[in-house]
């Protein structure tokens, strides 16, 4: 229960800072890393969207940073499992795919919600998290 509640707090703290009505685009070193690891921003978005939509039940889709490999990686976590504690990846961008995150606006159409979240991705925050992760 402690991991569940603590994970919920950690995940949502990241989630709310990951969003901005101004959205934007990644740039600089982060964009270069995205291109190196995924080929393009569009490929990253497609892969993370697919993984997030595919979560069975409730959980999270994540873009994380692997310190050992110095790479960006995509993964999912069930329920409220926190990314770093369960995978070792440092969380950069999370997509909450618990139905409560999107039901009022998107009903039960998770793909529409996931595809729309890219419009409000706070790339400045993701970049700050990336820069911090690289220094750990």
User: Is pLDDT of 6 > 90?
Assistant: no
Given a contact cutoff of 8 angstroms between Cβ atoms, the answer to whether 48 and 95 are in contact is yes
Given a contact cutoff of 8 angstroms between Cβ atoms, the answer to whether 122 and 17 are in contact is yes
Greater confidence (12 vs 30) lies with 30
- Within 8 A by CB and 6+ apart from 42, the residues are none
Tens-digit pLDDT profile for residues 86-116: 999 999 999 999 877 776 677 887 899 999 9
The class of domain 2-135 in CATH terms is: alpha beta
Hey, which residues does 126 pair with through a beta bridge?
A: none
Structure confidence at residue 3 (pLDDT) = 55
Q: What angle do CA 35, 111, 130 make, to 5 degrees?
A: 35
Tens-digit pLDDT profile for residues 118-132: 999 999 999 999 999
Averaged pLDDT score across all residues of the chain: 92
DSSP state of 24: -
């Amino acid at each position: 229960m402690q991991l569940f509640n603590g994970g919920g707090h950690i995940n949502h703290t990241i989630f709310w800072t990951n969003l901005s009505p101004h959205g934007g685009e990644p740039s600089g070193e982060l964009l270069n890393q995205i291109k190196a690891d995924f080929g393009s921003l569009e490929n990253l978005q497609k892969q993370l969207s697919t993984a997030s939509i595919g979560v069975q039940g409730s959980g999270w889709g994540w873009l994380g940073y692997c310190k050992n490999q110095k790479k960006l990686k995509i993964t999912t976590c069930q329920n409220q499992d926190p990314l770093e504690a369960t995978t070792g990846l440092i969380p950069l961008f999370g997509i909450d795919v618990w139905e409560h995150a999107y039901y009022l606006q998107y009903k039960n159409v998770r793909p529409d919600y996931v595809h729309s979240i890219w419009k409000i991705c706070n790339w400045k925050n993701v970049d700050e998290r990336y820069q911090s992760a690289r220094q750990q």
